[in-house]
C-alpha cells in the first residue's frame, strides 16, 4: 500500500513537470499577445477651452440658430419701414382732338364749322405729379401733392395764356382720435418684432450653452477612457508579475500548476479589459471629433486626441439659494417666457384699442397758380392769392364689433397662458438647480469614499501578496484583491470625472457656462 502510494506520487510529479513544461511556454506566449496598433495615427493635443471654441465656430446647429436670429432683426426693420415716407413721381402727356357743336370758353366766332361740319378742338397737355405720403407714429397719415401742368390749344383760341402753365399744391392730413391713436399703439408691432429678436437671442444662447455642455461631457468622458486604460494596464501588469512569480515557484517545485493556470487566466482576462478600454478611447475620440464638426475628409482620418485638462477634485463653494437666483436671472428659458409675457401684454393693449370707434380728423389745404410760363406759374402758386382749405370729422363703428372683441378675448387667454408658462418654467428651473447642486455635492463625497476604498484595497492587496510570499495565501485570493483594486481605482476615477461633469451640469442649469470660458456673445 505504501509502495503504491509512493509510485502514484512520482507519476503525478512527472505528469506535473511535463504539463508545466508544456504550459509555461504557452502562458508566456499568451501574456505577450496584446495586439499593438501601428503608430501611424496623427496625435493632436486638445484642451477643453480649445474644444469649446472650435465647436462654437463650426457647429451646424449654432450656424442655423445664428441665421435665424439675424432674420429676426430684419423683422424689426420691416415694421419700422411701415413709417417711412413714400415718394412717387408720375408724368403724363395727352393730346385730345374733339368735335365742337357749340362755342366754348376761349373760342369765338362761328365755331360750328363750314358746310355743317363740326369744329376741331385740339388740345395738348403735359403734366407731372409729385406725391409724398407717410404714416406717422401718432397714427396720422399725410399726403403732400404738387402737380404742375402745361396746356396748349391750337386754332384760334382766346385764352389768357396759351400755352398756359397751371399748378396745384395740396396737403391732406388724417389723424385718428380714438382707435389707432398715439405712439404706444402704433409702435406695437415694432416692439413685438424687437421682443421676437430678443427671444431668438435667448434661443441662440440656449443652443450655445447646450453645445458647450455637450462638449464638456464628452471631453471628460474622453479623460475617463484614457485614465481607465491606465487602470486596466496596471491591472494587467500586476497579473503578469504574479504569473511570472508563480512560474518561477512552479519551476522550483514549490507551487502547484493550478496556481499558474489561475494567473494565466487572469492575464488573459486583463488583456481583454485593456482591449475594451482601448476601443472605448477610440469611440470617445470619434464622438468628440464629430462634435467639433470637421470636414468629412478630416473625419475619415485617424486622429488621436490627447486631452490636456486634468479634472478638478476640489469642492467649489456654492449656495442653493444663490444658484437658484442666478438661474432665474440668466436661464434662457426664463428670459424667453418673460419676453412672451411682454409680447402678450402688447397684444392685449393693441386689441383693447381696436375696441374703440374709428373717429378721425381730416384736414386739407392747398395753393394754386396759373401763368404764362413756369416761373410765372410758381410765383402765382406760392403767392397765396389762390388757396383752399377744409376740415372735418369721420366716425365709423361696426355694430357689435365682434371681430375686435374676439381678438381681445384671445389675447387675454394668451397672456394667461404666458403667465402660467413662466410660472411652470421657474418651478422647473428651481427643481433642476437643486438637483444639480445635490449631484455636485454627492459626486464630491463619492470621490472621498472611493479614494478611501482604493487605499484600503491597496493595503489589502499588499497584505495578501505578503501572505502569498510566505505560503499563507493562494493565487486566487491575490487575484481577487487585484481585481478589487482595479475596480476601486475605476470607481475613484469615475467619481472624479462625474464630479467634473456635475460641475458642468450645474453651470448649464445656472446659465453661467460662458463665464467659465470668458466668452461674450455679440
Give the Cβ contact number of residue 470 at 10 Å: 7
| 309/496 Cα distance (integer angstroms) | 13
Burial of 503 (0-12, 13-18, 19+ CB in 10 A): buried
CB hemisphere CA count around 253 (13 angstroms): 6
Cell matching residue 174: 388724417
pLDDT for position 123: 87
| Pairing outcome for strands 164-176 and 86-100 | unpaired
Backbone angles phi, psi at 385, to 5 degrees: -80, -30
Give the relative orientation of helices 475-510 and 402-469 as an angle to the nearest 10 degrees: 160
Cα 125 from Cα 372, distance rounded (Å): 14
CB 217 within 8 A of CB 504: yes
Tell me, rounded to whole angstroms, the distance of Cα 264 from its chain centroid: 54
> What pLDDT is recorded for position 27?
37
- Answer yes or no: are the C-beta atoms of 454 and 492 closer than 8 Å: yes
C-beta of residue 351 within 8 angstroms of C-beta of residue 172: no
Query: Which residues make Cβ contacts (< 8 Å) with residue 21, sequence separation at least 6?
Result: none
Please, are residues 112 and 87 in contact by the beta-carbon 8 Å criterion? Answer: no
Instruction: Count other Cβ atoms within 10 Å, centred on residue 504.
Output: 23
CA-angle at 500, arms to 494 and 504, nearest 5°: 135
**Is residue 353 a contact partner of residue 144, using CB atoms and an 8 Å limit?**
no
Query: Would you state the pLDDT for residue 172?
Result: 97
Structure letter (DSSP) for residue 311: P
Burial of 145 from C-beta contacts in 10 A (0-12 / 13-18 / 19+): middle
Q: What is the pLDDT along the chain (522 residues), one digit of tens a residue?
A: 333 433 333 333 333 333 333 333 333 333 344 555 555 578 889 999 999 998 888 777 788 888 888 888 899 999 999 999 999 999 999 998 888 776 655 555 444 455 567 777 888 999 999 999 999 999 999 999 999 999 998 876 677 888 889 999 999 999 999 999 999 999 999 999 999 999 999 998 999 999 999 999 999 999 999 999 999 999 999 999 999 999 999 999 888 999 999 999 999 999 999 999 999 999 999 999 998 888 888 888 888 899 999 999 998 888 999 999 999 999 999 999 999 999 999 999 999 999 999 999 999 999 999 988 889 899 988 988 899 999 999 999 999 899 999 999 999 999 999 999 999 999 999 999 999 999 999 999 999 999 999 999 999 999 999 999 888 988 899 999 999 999 999 999 999 999 999 999 999 999 999 988 888 776
Among 127, 73, 122, CA closest to 99: 122
Residues sharing a CB contact under 8 Å with residue 479, sequence separation 6 or more, in sequence order: 239, 242, 262, 263, 266
Domain spanning 46-71+192-343+416-517: CATH superfamily: Outer membrane efflux proteins (OEP) (1.20.1600.10)
Concatenating the DSSP letter of every residue in 257-277 gives: HHHHHHHHHHHHHHHHHHHHH
Please tell me the distance from the alpha carbon of residue 149 to that of residue 134, in angstroms, as a whole number: 25
443: number of Cβ within 10 Å: 21
Distance CA 323, CA 512 (A): 10
Q: How far apart are CA 298 and CA 289, in angstroms?
A: 10
Please state at what angle helix 188-251 crosses helix 2-32, rounded to 10 degrees: 140
- 306 DSSP 8-state letter: E
So what's the pLDDT on residue 21? 33
Rounded to 10°, the helix 188-251/60-80 angle is: 170
Bridge-based pairing of strands 42-46 and 303-307 is parallel
Which helix (H) or strand (E) segment is 98 a member of? strand 86-100
| Residue 158 per-residue DSSP state | -
Whether pTM > 0.75 for this model: the answer is yes
* The pLDDT value given to residue 336: 95
Cell numbers 481607465: residue: 228
Cell representation of residue 181:
391713436
Domain locations along the chain:
46-71+192-343+416-517, 93-135+140-179+360-396
Amino acid at each position: 500500500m505504501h509502495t503504491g502510494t509512493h509510485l502514484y506520487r512520482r507519476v503525478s510529479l512527472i505528469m506535473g513537470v511535463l504539463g508545466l513544461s508544456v504550459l509555461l511556454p504557452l502562458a508566456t506566449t499568451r501574456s505577450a499577445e496584446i495586439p499593438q496598433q501601428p503608430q501611424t495615427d496623427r496625435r493632436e493635443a486638445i484642451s477643453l477651452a480649445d474644444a469649446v471654441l472650435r465647436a462654437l465656430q463650426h457647429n451646424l446647429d449654432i450656424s442655423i440658430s445664428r441665421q435665424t436670429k439675424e432674420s429676426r432683426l430684419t423683422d424689426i426693420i420691416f415694421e419700422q419701414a411701415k413709417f417711412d415716407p413714400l415718394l412717387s413721381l408720375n408724368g403724363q402727356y395727352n393730346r385730345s382732338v374733339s368735335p365742337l357743336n357749340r362755342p366754348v370758353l376761349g373760342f369765338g366766332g362761328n365755331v360750328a364749322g363750314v358746310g355743317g361740319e363740326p369744329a376741331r378742338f385740339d388740345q395738348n397737355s403735359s403734366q407731372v405729379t409729385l406725391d409724398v405720403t407717410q404714416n406717422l407714429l401718432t397714427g396720422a397719415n399725410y399726403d403732400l401733392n404738387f402737380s404742375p401742368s402745361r396746356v396748349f390749344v391750337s386754332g384760334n383760341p382766346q385764352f389768357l395764356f396759351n400755352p398756359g402753365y397751371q399748378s396745384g399744391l395740396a396737403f391732406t392730413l388724417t389723424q385718428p382720435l380714438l382707435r389707432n391713436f398715439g405712439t404706444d399703439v402704433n409702435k406695437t408691432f415694432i416692439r413685438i418684432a424687437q421682443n421676437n429678436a430678443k427671444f431668438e437671442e435667448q434661443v441662440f444662447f440656449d443652443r450655445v450653452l447646450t453645445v458647450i455642455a455637450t462638449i464638456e461631457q464628452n471631453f471628460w468622458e474622453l479623460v475617463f477612457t484614457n485614465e481607465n486604460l491606465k487602470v486596466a494596464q496596471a491591472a494587467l501588469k500586476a497579473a503578469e508579475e504574479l504569473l511570472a512569480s508563480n512560474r518561477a515557484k512552479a519551476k522550483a517545485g514549490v507551487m502547484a500548476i493550478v496556481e499558474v493556470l489561475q494567473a494565466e487566466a487572469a492575464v488573459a482576462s486583463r488583456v481583454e479589459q485593456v482591449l475594451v478600454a482601448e476601443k472605448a478611447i477610440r469611440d470617445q475620440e470619434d464622438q468628440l471629433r464629430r462634435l467639433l464638426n470637421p470636414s468629412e475628409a478630416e473625419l475619415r482620418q485617424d486622429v488621436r486626441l490627447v486631452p490636456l485638462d486634468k479634472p478638478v477634485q476640489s469642492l467649489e463653494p456654492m449656495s442653493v439659494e444663490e444658484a437658484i437666483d442666478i438661474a432665474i436671472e440668466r436661464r434662457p428659458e426664463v428670459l424667453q417666457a418673460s419676453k412672451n409675457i411682454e409680447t402678450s401684454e402688447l397684444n392685449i393693449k393693441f386689441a383693447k384699442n381696436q375696441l374703440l370707434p374709428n373717429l378721425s380728423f381730416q384736414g386739407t389745404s392747398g395753393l394754386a397758380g396759373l401763368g404764362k410760363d413756369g416761373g410765372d406759374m410758381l410765383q402765382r402758386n406760392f403767392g397765396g392769392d389762390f388757396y383752399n382749405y377744409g376740415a372735418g370729422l369721420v366716425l365709423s363703428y361696426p355694430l357689435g364689433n365682434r371681430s375686435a372683441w374676439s381678438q381681445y378675448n384671445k389675447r387675454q387667454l394668451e397672456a394667461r397662458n404666458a403667465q402660467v408658462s413662466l410660472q411652470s418654467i421657474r418651478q422647473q428651473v428651481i427643481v433642476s438647480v437643486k438637483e444639480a447642486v445635490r449631484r455636485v455635492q454627492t459626486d464630491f463625497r463619492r470621490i472621498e469614499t472611493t479614494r478611501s476604498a482604493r487605499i484600503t484595497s491597496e493595503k489589502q492587496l499588499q497584505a495578501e501578496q505578503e501572505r502569498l510570499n510566505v505560503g499563507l495565501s493562494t493565487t486566487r485570493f491575490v487575484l481577487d484583491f487585484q481585481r478589487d483594486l482595479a475596480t476601486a481605482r475605476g470607481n475613484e476615477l469615475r467619481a472624479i470625472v462625474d464630479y467634473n461633469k456635475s460641475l458642468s451640469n450645474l453651470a448649464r442649469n445656472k446659465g453661467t457656462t460662458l463665464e467659465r470660458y470668458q466668452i461674450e456673445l455679440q
